[in-house]
Structure formats: structure tokens, C-alpha cells
Amino acid sequence: MIAVAISGGVDSAYAAWLLSRTHRVLLLHARLFPEDTSPRARSVAQALGLPLEIIDLREDFARRVICYFREAYLQGLTPNPCVICNREIKFGLLLEAARQLGAEKLATGHYARLRYDPATSHYLLYKARDLQKDQSYFLHQLPQEVLSQILFPLGDLSKEEILRETARIGLFPFTAPESREVCFVRGDYRELFRVVEAPEGEMVTVNGRVVGKHRGLFAYTVGQRRGLGLRLGKPYYVVALDPEHNRVIVGEKRHLLRRTLRVGRVNFLYPLDPERPFEAAVRLRYRHREAPARIEPLGGGIFRVIFERPQRAVAPGQFAVFYREDLVLGGGEILPEPAPFPSWISTP
């Protein structure tokens, strides 16, 4: 039996329909939010004629994802909740629930591809054929024991093909919206911090000149221009956050460029030697265009990424993912750089 995680939208529903043609399928819907999202899932189950189990993960989601999100911002980081949700919730607790219900594998509507490689005895993760929908970036933290238990039926399909097929077989319309990168926030993420007493602090330039006050580190992210409240005669951007001194570092656009960064908590999906340098194309955020770089071990599970050309707005807390063409080699969390900040700012 294959369990299929469904949201109530077109992608996961079509994945379930595809698998139901060749396997016995059980639908799973994870309830993550206070509002009840199960009616859409029940509509999908009824349309497909498949059994459905609702798995209540609201408390776990709040504790493992929302709390992580809040704490990261309070520490001056820019979190990526989708990466954590995939690792902890969808392919953690939901996969565990699927196995307890007797499923051999858990399938989802993610756009990515998995292949077992006999030469390395590893399950390898690849980009989806539809590069505009590819979600491999969000899946790079999954360990081998998880990759061996999951399926991505949509990896070789385009969104257009899926919409065309669902119309042909009369599955839809279903009206679940496309998932957002921060699914638990409707509007400005800062609403999550309304009751937080975050201390104000100084806003300083890369040269140390105090130019204003900030209203709490959580309200800022690297690369931000709007909402700084500065009138300095030219545009200024958030270059770095300094939680140790409770400062927001601002600079000109050129100060956003960085040639190097450090990553930790690295998960290798491809069996590379972690003690040897290697080269890869590195993506720094979901819509970032990959850039060629050399990755060097620093010891203690920390790696230095050195780009051929400086990259803009490197945000600690986000994830750097290593690719070799379509193959995901691995990736890890971007770490803050130690002060003084101008030592790593690229000013060509």
C-alpha cells in the first residue's frame, strides 16, 4: 500500500490518481493550522473514491516549525520554514504515521525526482523536469532512510501536463490555492511578533556610523531596502544583522555582495568525501540562480563556500544547496559571519 499526502489541491490529487491506477492507495491529510483544512481533502478523497485519514499535527507544527521561525528571526536570522517542515513534519511525523497505518511508501505532490543508484547504493535527488516548479531545494535536508521510503510521482511531469490531464479525466476543479513559502502567515510575517518585546537598537553603516534606530532585529532581513526609515540621499540596504550588539548594519547596494560564506548542519545526499574540497553550483535561496563555487571543509562540520563571482544578499539562516547539473549533492544552513563585518564585505 502507498500512502499519498494530499493538501486538497491539484498536484497531490493527481499524484494520488496516478498511483491508484497501479497500487492500493491510502490518502493522508495533515492538519497543521487552527482552521480546518480537511473539507478540501475530503472532497478529493470522494472524487477519487479513495480512503482518507486525517492526521492532526497542529501542536507538532507549531512547536517544530512556527517556533523555529520566530526564534530564528529573533536571533537575527532569516529562516526557511519549508525546509524544516519537510524534514520534521511531512517526511518526519507524517511518514511515521503512514508507516504505522501499514504503508510501504509515502508519496507527495512535490516537483522533484528520486532515483536509486546501484553504484553508490544511494537514493539520489534530482531537480524536477519542470524547472519552474522544481522543489528540490526544499528537500535537500532529507536523510537516506527517508529518501528510501518516499515517492515523487510528478517529477517527470510539467504543471501544464497535469492540468491538462486532470481536465481530461474530470477530476477538477479543486480550489486549493498554490502553496506559499510561508504557509502559516497571511500577510506580513511581522504579525507573529506583535506581542514580542524585542529591544530597539542602533542602525549603523558598514563603517560604524550610527544613522538611525531599529525596532527589533526580527523586522529586518539581509537585502531589505524598504522600511528602514533612513534619509541619507541614496538607497541603503540591510547588509547584516549583529545580534551580539543588537545592531542592524546597513550599506550601499555594492556592500550586499559576498564572495564567501560558511555553512553548517550539512546533509550530503550524494556520497562525497566531507574531508575533501569539491566544486558545485550553489543556490542560496529558492529563486536564486545557482552560481559556481568551491566548497572547502573547515572542520567541525563547517564548510566554506567560495564563489567565482560575488553573490548578492546572502542571508544567514537560509540554506545553501549544492548541485551538479540536476543532481542535488547536499546542502546546509548559512551561518552568520563573525564581526567585524567589513572584513567579508565585497566592495569591487
Q: Which residues contact 334 (CB under 8 A, 6 or more apart)?
A: 261, 262, 263, 284, 314, 315, 316, 317, 318, 319, 320
* pLDDT value of residue 202: 93
Catalytic residues: 85, 183
* Per-residue pLDDT at 330 exceeds 70: yes
* pLDDT value of residue 64: 96
- Asked whether the beta carbons of 113 and 129 are under 8 A apart, the reply is yes
330's enclosing H/E stretch is strand 327-335
Which of 182, 184, 165, 183 has the alpha carbon at shortest distance from 13?
A: 165
* Per-residue pLDDT at 185 exceeds 70: no
Please report the beta strands in 181-326, taking only residues with DSSP state E, as ranges in sequence order: 201-205, 210-214, 237-242, 247-251, 257-268, 278-283, 291-299, 302-312, 319-324
* pLDDT value of residue 17: 97
Phi, psi at 212, each rounded to 5°: 175, -170
How far apart (Å, rounded) are the C-alpha atoms in residues 29 and 37? 9
Structural domains in the chain plus CATH codes:
2-168 (3.40.50.620), 197-251 (2.30.30.280), 257-343 (2.40.30.10)
* pLDDT value of residue 175: 47
pLDDT tens readout for residues 289-320 = 999 999 999 999 999 999 999 999 999 999 99
Q: Categorize the per-residue pLDDT at 344 as very low, low, confident or very high, splitting at 50, 70 and 90.
A: low
How far apart (Å, rounded) are the C-alpha atoms in residues 128 and 161? 13
Q: Categorize the per-residue pLDDT at 179 as very low, low, confident or very high, splitting at 50, 70 and 90.
A: low
Cis-peptide into 338, omega within 30 deg? no
* pLDDT value of residue 348: 41
How far apart (Å, rounded) are the C-alpha atoms in residues 273 and 306? 18
Look up the pTM and report it.
0.91
Give the C-alpha distances (Å, rounded to integers) separating 51 from 14, 66, 99, 202.
15, 30, 16, 57
Instruction: Take residue 230 and report the three cell numbers written for it.
Output: 533612513
What three-state secondary structure class fits 323?
strand
- Asked whether the beta carbons of 244 and 199 are under 8 A apart, the reply is no
* Per-residue pLDDT at 212 exceeds 50: yes
* pLDDT value of residue 191: 59
Which of 83, 80, 79 has the alpha carbon at shortest distance from 110?
A: 83
pLDDT tens readout for residues 234-286 = 899 999 999 888 999 999 999 999 999 999 999 999 999 999 999 999 999 99
* pLDDT value of residue 89: 98
Which of 245, 205, 9 has the alpha carbon at shortest distance from 109?
A: 9
How far apart (Å, rounded) are the C-alpha atoms in residues 13 and 21? 13
Count of C-beta atoms within a 10 Å radius of residue 333: 22
* pLDDT value of residue 37: 87
pLDDT tens readout for residues 107-165 = 999 999 999 999 999 999 999 999 999 999 999 999 999 999 999 999 999 999 999 99
